[in-house]
Amino acid sequence: MKILLLGGTGLVGKQVLLSLLFYPQIKKVIVWARNFETSSKPNLPIEVVKASWDDFQSGKVSIPEGIDAVFCCLGTTIGKAGGPDQFREIDFDYPLLAARQTKEKKIPGFYIITAMGSDPNSMIFYNRVKGELESELKILKIPFLGIFRPSLLIGDRSEFRMGEKIGEMVGSFIPFGLLGLKKFKPIPAEYVAKSMIYSLLHDKPTNENNPIVKIYENDILWEIGKDHSF
C-alpha cells in the first residue's frame, strides 16, 4: 500500500509515520511538509515532498495517482494559528481540499483526526469547526471515511502548550475508568496513530455506491491503543 500523510510533523503525524514503517504491507509513505528530516537509512520507504499549502491550493502540487489512503493529521490551536480565521483555514479548509482531491482521484480511504465533542452546532468554536468539517467530509461519499475523535492528546510536542500540560497532569490523578468517564480520558498520541492504522488494515472500503463512515470515539481509541502493539 502507498499512503499519503498530511501533518507528518505534528504530534500524531510523527507517531503515524513511525508506526507505518513496522508494516510490510506499507510500500511507501509520502509526506508533504515544508521542513522535514528523515533518517539517513536509505531503505526507509519514505518520500518527502517539500511543498506548502499555498502550493496545494494553487494547484502547483496535487495528490498523486496510485495512492491507497490519505491520512490527515493536520491540526493546530487558535492561539498558534494566529486567530479564528487562520485556525479555520488549517483545520477546515486544508483537510477539506485534501478530501475533495481524494474523492476526485478515486482513492479508497480518507482517515482524519478531528476531536472529541465535534459538533457543527456546538457553542464552542473549536468543536463547531471540527463538526462542520465532518459534515462536509460525509457529503463527499469517499468509499471509506475514518473519523478519529481523541480527547486531550498526550505526547512530546515541538512547542509548549500550557493548557494541555495542565490537563495532562490533572488527568493523571483522575480515575476516569472508575468514574465512568473513560471517553474523556487524555490519550497518548501513539494510541491514536495505532487506531488509524488498525482501521486502515481492518476496515475495508467498498465502492462509491456504498460509502462507509466509521467514527472512532476516544474510549475505542484507548482500547485499540492498549491492545495492539507493534
| pLDDT tens per residue across span 69-127 | 999 999 888 888 889 999 999 999 999 999 999 999 999 999 999 999 999 999 999 99
Residue 86: phi and psi, rounded to 5, are -70, -40
172-195 residue pLDDT tens: 555 545 445 567 789 999 999 999
Q: Which domain holds residue 144?
A: 2-227
Dihedral angle computed from the Cα positions of residues 201, 147, 190 and 61, in that order, rounded to the nearest 10 degrees: 80
Which CATH number goes with the domain that contains 108? 3.40.50.720
Burial call 161-171: b when 16+ CB within 10 Å, e when fewer: eeebeebeeeb
The tally of domains found in the chain comes to 1
Give the C-alpha separation, 181 to 187, whole Å. 13
> In terms of DSSP H, where are the helices of the chain?
11-20, 53-58, 78-81, 84-88, 94-104, 125-140, 162-171, 189-202, 218-227
pTM of the model: 0.87
DSSP letter for each residue of 42-107: TTS-EEEEE--HHHHHHTSS-PPTT--EEEE-----HHHHTSHHHHHIIIIIHHHHHHHHHHHTT-
125-160 residue pLDDT tens: 999 999 999 999 999 999 999 999 999 999 765 554
